[in-house]
Structure 1
């Protein structure tokens, strides 16, 4: 029997996992890379931005399908004034995972924004920050790559640590 990974290395199509949705929140450079790369990795992707001038098509979680139990929500801008409301709405849905970009050396602005909206601390704690694997990301493409790598590791039941560790 041939190793399936070996076949993929030689050009045979791998079976893509079904059902996983990636909701990129806020039209940003990182979201742009996620939109381009996520389908190749087996994610159905949706861009949600509450600002209708940005033309995202999806303005709120209420515009998404009812079943989001397999959705990963990635907030790609932590400076937007709608941050608290969008996260509150994401946490109110049965999404699988919620994460916000940001510097791990500082408390994220989402903590105060959610507290001001009356979101209980145990719900605020569901928000992952920073997101992705620690690869020293600096550019939008690197941040998107690290985010997708972390989500793939999670989807595949792996830690995301280097091989052999």
Structure 2
């Protein structure tokens, strides 16, 4: 991408639960996620792979993450994907998700297992990220991501096998 709609670090206010969304990578889905998250007042940190010589996994580890942070990787083919997921799952982030198919995720899960990432950490990974709203466009996919993160932040998200669903 030659132009960015969103700078590397963006923070917006929120009146609801004190969650922070960390969006990793620069693509049209990430841009739509930041637009929708900003519209609903979800605080954001955006990390792009090409904005620094420092690897994104290192920058992610350098953030003061808490269990109120949601880390979302919007490109499963981005440089350092396994490293970013390993860093996110090793930290305290309360929610970790990645765009991508379950088949692509199986390969990443195998790699992470081989590297010693514990099963309980892998169980925290939401793939594909987002509530199933049936969308195909970048905006619809972004809406599903922000909806799932908002539901998680509000305590309305539960895991049902390998998918997430809303609770009463």
User: 2:49 touches 2:79 (CA, 8 Å); kept in 1?
Assistant: no
Q: Which of the numbers 111, 129, 132 marks the counterpart of 1:131?
A: 129
Match in the other structure for 1:29: 28
Match in the other structure for 2:38: 39
Greater than 6 Å deviation, 4+ residue runs = none
In structure 1, runs of 5+ residues without a counterpart are 1-14
Q: 1: distance between equivalents of 2:126 and 2:147?
A: 15
**RMSD, aligned α-carbons:** 2.8
Shift of 1:58: 9.4
In structure 2, runs of 5+ residues without a counterpart are 1-13, 158-164
Change (3 A) 1:151 1:62: closer
SS in 2 for 1:88: helix
**TM-score, with structure 1 as normaliser:** 0.74
Shift of 1:53: 5.9
Q: Which of the numbers 91, 94, 113 marks the counterpart of 1:115?
A: 113
Greater radius of gyration (CA): 1
Q: 2: distance between equivalents of 1:157 and 1:89?
A: 24
Q: 1: distance between equivalents of 2:17 and 2:123?
A: 28
Greater relative contact order (Cα 8 A, min sep 6): structure 1 or 2? 2
Change (3 A) 1:58 1:43: farther
User: 1:22 touches 1:72 (CA, 8 Å); kept in 2?
Assistant: yes
Shift of 1:150: 1.6
Q: Which of the numbers 135, 139, 142 marks the counterpart of 1:144?
A: 142
**TM-score, with structure 2 as normaliser:** 0.73
